[in-house]
Amino acid sequence: MSFTASIKSEICSLNTTEAENISELSAIINNISEITNTIKISTENIIVFKHIYDLIFKIYHIKPQIIVRQGYNFNKNQLYILELKEDVDTILADLSIKKNNQLLDIPEQYMVDDFELYRAYMRGLFIAVGSINDPKTSRYHLEMIVNKHDYAEFISNKLNEQRLNSKIIKRENKYMIYIKEAERISDFLRIIKANQAVLYYEDIRIYRDYKNMTNRLNNCEQANIDKMILTANAQVEDIELIENKASLDLLPDKVREVAIYRKKYPEVSLLELSFIMTSETGKSITKSGIYHRMKKINELANKIRNKRNF
């Protein structure tokens, strides 16, 4: 079962009030039904199909006609169809899908009038047209695809009232409402009461964030090591140049001492070299002190390279 399917399975099993059921069913029928003189609802998800059937029966005490067909897509999944022929106009008006014999672009405010009804409506919308990438295998992405721009704006605004930072993009002749931020997707799952999905999502998100942070630290540490090795090699080259072309005796005593220790310990950092010299000579020397003496070694080496008087 996909991550999206597992979320839909979880939220289809919630215990909800009749008012919540009406808001949820409104979002479902508004997005995955064909409305003429009948209401025809189609889905490939058997759990969603049973859930919609139960909602209709609980609210209106009507048993829709059930049709099962072989799907036409590549996977040839079963297509489950519910067809309502009774009290169609009354049901559509009750669900704020139709008013004065006109289909509404967006539902009236009473469908999402309080937070629980809002949660139920978003739950129905996700059941109908929502999907979320599994955080184990993909980038963080939630999307819901709807037919009309005004409706997409309505949904996006409602999501953003909860600071979910949703956006809209046109996809062919439809509109995709999407959320990309991991924390905001997790917040959406909490809103629709997909609590098990939240735990799974947060576990994976925290693991991925920790892994990414560890990789960044490792990369940074490796970069520092590479930089240290390049610097140490350059310092040894300077010292050997002075030895071969002139003499270390040209250096002041303290600078010559650093040169000798750098050649003896070419693989260590300046900080480590300061610890070694302090321990072996009994004279305290800091990393900064070694750095300044290395600069003098480099200046002399550059004079030799440039064949200037030294």
Question: What are the structural domains of the chain?
Answer: 3-193 (3.10.28.10), 224-305 (no CATH)
Identify the band that residue 205 occupies on the pLDDT scale cut at 50, 70 and 90.
Answer: confident
120 C-beta neighbours (distance < 10 Å), count? 28
The two three-digit tokens of residue 249, written as one number: 């005796």
Q: Give the H/E segment covering residue 108.
A: none
Task: Quote the pLDDT of residue 309.
Answer: 54
Sheet holding 33-35, edge to edge: 33-35, 39-43, 78-84, 65-70
pLDDT at 259 over 70: yes
For the residues 174-185, what does the mean pLDDT come to?
94
174 C-beta neighbours (distance < 10 Å), count? 14
Q: What is the pTM of this model?
A: 0.69
pLDDT at 73 over 70: no
pLDDT at 241 over 70: yes
Above pLDDT 70, what percent of the chain?
Answer: 96
Using CA atoms, how far residue 115 sits from 118, 162, 286, in Å, is 5, 10, 63
The two three-digit tokens of residue 268, written as one number: 């260590």
pLDDT top residue among 289 and 216: 289
pLDDT top residue among 302 and 144: 144
Q: Which amino acid is at 100?
A: N
The two three-digit tokens of residue 305, written as one number: 């390279």
What does the alpha-carbon distance between residue 265 and residue 259 come to, in Å, rounded to a whole number? Answer: 10
**Range of lowest pLDDT (155-164, 168-177, 216-225, 272-281):** 216-225
For the residues 165-170, what does the mean pLDDT come to?
95
**Range of lowest pLDDT (58-67, 101-110, 266-275):** 266-275
What does the alpha-carbon distance between residue 56 and residue 63 come to, in Å, rounded to a whole number? Answer: 7
pLDDT at 72 over 80: no
Give the single-character DSSP code of 269: -
135 burial (CB, 10 Å; 0-12 / 13-18 / 19+) is buried
Q: Which 3 state secondary structure label does DSSP give 44?
A: coil
Task: Quote the pLDDT of residue 210.
Answer: 67
